[in-house]
Structure 1
Amino acid sequence: MKRLLIGLGAALFLAGCASSGIDSLAPKTVGHVDLKRYQGTWYEQARLPMFFQRNCAQSEAHYSLKPEGDVAVLNRCRTAEGKWEEAKGTATPQVEGKTDKLWVEFDNWVSTVLPGVTKGDYWVLYLGDDYSTALVGNPDRRYLWLLSRKPQVDQQTRDELLSKAQQQGYDTTRLIWRTPDSKMPKGTK
């Protein structure tokens, strides 16, 4: 009888864990993004550390809507030495008709050799009413970007984005902030 009760308790515990699922632990997205309004230039204000942006002092993303509904992506990064690097790709909805969770795949040799394997999550977690600020991350909170339409933001906007990231469970103590223009080499814009 004792084994039966322990077994039932364990089964109920595991069922409770399974029913909560990863989605209940994942950050919440905005629900809908008007991709026409979202297209254009976004400046990274801060990001969590990641390998592919290890040399970036300033980053920006340029999005443009394609006729079939996908989004063309051009990411640019300026190194501390003032050199520009860029990567092109495409963002597509993870679920048809839903625009707040996208897959992004960059055009590089890895995606050519292993198509579909190199897709990354691009979840819009917060979007300002006027589409001037955004918070983008992924389900396991490994990646995070604080974005703005302006290269520099005021302290109030910075604090608001930080607060939104913290509310979503991100560790904001690890953020790498955009290097101000005044600290970049001259003549590299």
Structure 2
Amino acid sequence: MRKLIIAVLIFFCGCSSVPKGILPVTGFEISRYLGTWYEIARLDHSFERGLINISAEYSQMDDGGVKVVNRGFDPIKNEWKEVEGRAYFVSDPSTGSLKVSFFRPFYGGYHIIALDKEKYEYALVCGPDRSYLWILSKKPFLDKKIKDDLILKAKKLGFDVSSLIQVKQESK
């Protein structure tokens, strides 16, 4: 658990700006984004390495921020790993660009760069640079065509999609 905390801390010591050439979604509605999101694919980082059944739960806080609870199962240790943080909009709440902290006062970028604006069922999210990328879904599985389209978009934006890890989601 200590390694997880240190790795997350290192990530979130970074900046909260959007990587050059990438624009977060506009017309964003946080109330529709709240709830549980499942990680479908990601670029590898030590704070999630080896975990399966990874999810993030987003809920509104009284101060206007968003409570973030990231969770994943370590099948080798047979235990759940969980970390709680908070997120705040970088500027306009109708733009999908937030700064997230798991260890205040350190914040890192969380930028929604593609979103199913009709149903809010899938999203493509990046961090403060192109080494952080997640494909998220409101369901534990995502239609192959949608996933392929998100991967193509990420590739066009300069992400190394050849390194994407497909996250195993199992029944709990």
Note the C-alpha offset of 1:53: 0.9
Which protein is bigger by CA-based radius of gyration?
Answer: 1
**8 Å contact kept, 1:47–1:176:** yes
Give 2:71's aligned residue: 76
Equivalenced residues, count: 154
Equivalent position to 1:148, from 127, 137, 147: 137
Structure with more contact order per residue of length (Cα contacts < 8 Å, sep ≥ 6): 2
Identity %: 36
Note the C-alpha offset of 1:169: 1.6
- Greater strand content: 2
Summarize the alignment of residues 32-51 of structure 1 with structure 2, pairs less than 5 Å apart. 32-51=27-46
Specify whether residues 96 and 29 from structure 1 end up closer, same or farther in structure 2 by C-alpha distance, changes over 3 A only: closer
Give 2:100's aligned residue: 104
Q: Does 1:176 align with 2:165?
A: yes
User: For the aligned residues, what is the CA RMSD?
Assistant: 2.0
- TM superposition score normalised by structure 2: 0.81
SS at 1:158's partner residue? helix
Give the aligned residue type for 2:124. Answer: L
Give the aligned residue type for 2:110. Answer: Y
1:101-125 Cα distance to aligned partner (Å, 9 max, x none): 111111xxxx3xxx42x21110010
CA distance in 1, matches of 2:91, 2:84: 22
Any stretches of 5+ residues in structure 1 without a counterpart?
Answer: 1-21, 182-187
Give 2:108's aligned residue: 120
Note the C-alpha offset of 1:59: 0.7
Give 2:153's aligned residue: 164
- Greater helix content: 1
Any stretches of 5+ residues in structure 2 without a counterpart?
Answer: 1-16
CA distance in 1, matches of 2:136, 2:95: 17
CA distance in 2, matches of 1:28, 1:96: 13
